[in-house]
Amino acid sequence: MTTTIEMKKLSSKNIVSPKGFAAAGVHCGIKHKKKDLAILVSEVPASVAGVFTTNAVQAAPLKVTKEVVYSTQKMQAIIVNSGNANACTGKQGVADAYEMQKLAAGKLGIESNLVGVASTGVIGEIMKMEPVYKGVEMLNPSANLESGIDFSQAIMTTDTVMKNTTYATKIDGKEVLVSGTAKGSGMIEPNMATMLGFITTDANIESVELQKALSHITDCTFNAITVDGDTSTNDTVIVMANGLAGNEPLTPTHPDWDNFYTALKAVSEDLAKSIARDGEGATKLIEVEVEGALNDEEARKIAKTVVGSPLVKTAVFGCDANWGRIIAAVGYSGATVDPDKITIQIGGTTMVKQGEPIPFSEEQLIEILKQHEVKIYVSLEQGDGHGYAWGCDLTYDYVQINASYRS
């Protein structure tokens, strides 16, 4: 196993940067003006892994994509639209999702069972297929960075910014890239959220090992964010690994496994945090770190409870150093806690130590809470568990955006 992780972040790269990937994004008329149809393609069938929403109500495209991930276990392309979730649309919605799969496969000249489908937007409206027919003909995938940007723009709904990240690492002495792009801004309570994430890599790894890695990483990245506590019908994260870097097949026993795993986790964490930061109407990213829990799972549970508390979120928005809301959330998280051992800090300032209030400067805390990133730390002294969660403040704009989402 690698003892020193070799990895660097590349700011000038995006989803098409790993060898053998191309993308496109166009406006076809599903939405009024902005880009709304996109495609991501690998030169060769790629190993694939996926994680999906835990909502019992799942959109039609998930049925199609799950078949590709779990049955074909190879994916060469995925077609994505924004503006319509194709969720709760009955048999017609399923037929339309399969039609999108067929259209994309025909455009690329590949088998349909190698094509995934993802949709995001309004729930309960039948997909307008005429724009899709026109849009598929307009899609001309390219490996240039502009095409990667087009893809990222076309998958956005209420997002205010694109979410892209890339890391380079070394495997068998060869450079391997791991790149990701995502959309997500509201209805974010992953297990997973209105969140679509796409990750590409030129690493050589079989689907079964890729799936194990992604599933484990998801628990402490995508499933550690919350914006509003609502779990979407469409959440999907897909990883495609086409092997064109030419390394020996990766498994947990490979000497450079840690390099790959850490890069994949870094991409996932970057995307997860960027989604939390861009929550609808948000002005601040909130990070909660919990240590001393009974185990890592309980630590993450407590962290997510704190960051998901509407009272904590509104206190952060209002720059109110109300630590009582934090300790209350810790207490109702369902995890094992001893109130007499809880320590709480905001921005490095201790407010509670082992259950006892500590005098602090209200003015200093207000300045800390005015920052764009607010860090809350909780120590429990119950065990070795350690975990993080990310979210955002709850603002007037969140209410306004979601009060008129369909109009």
Could you give the C-alpha distances from 107 to 133, 135, 211, in angstroms and in order? Answer: 11, 11, 28
Burial of 104 (0-12, 13-18, 19+ CB in 10 A): buried
Backbone angles phi, psi at 265, to 5 degrees: -65, -40
- Here the tokens at position 103 are 């259209």
Say which residue the tokens 């568990």 belong to. Answer: 385
- How far apart CA 238 and CA 39 sit, in angstroms, is 13
Q: Which of 323, 185, 337, 199 is nearest to 261 (CA)?
A: 199
- Here the tokens at position 305 are 């409870």
Residue 13 · residue 128 · CB < 8 Å: no
- Here the tokens at position 253 are 């026993």
Residue 286 · residue 376 · CB < 8 Å: yes
Asked if 200 is an active-site residue, the reply is: no
Q: Mark 9-26 as b/e (b = at least 16 C-beta within 10 Å).
A: eeeebbbbbbbbbbbbbb
Residue 176 · residue 267 · CB < 8 Å: no
How is 374-392 classified by DSSP, letter by letter? Answer: EEEEEE--SSSEEEEEEEE
Burial of 91 (0-12, 13-18, 19+ CB in 10 A): exposed
Residue 177 · residue 18 · CB < 8 Å: yes
Q: Which of 164, 178, 206, 172 is nearest to 46 (CA)?
A: 206
In the DSSP assignment, the letter for residue 69 is I
Task: Given the residues 157, 169, 194, 200, select the one marked as catalytic.
Answer: 194
Residues annotated catalytic, as ranges: 194
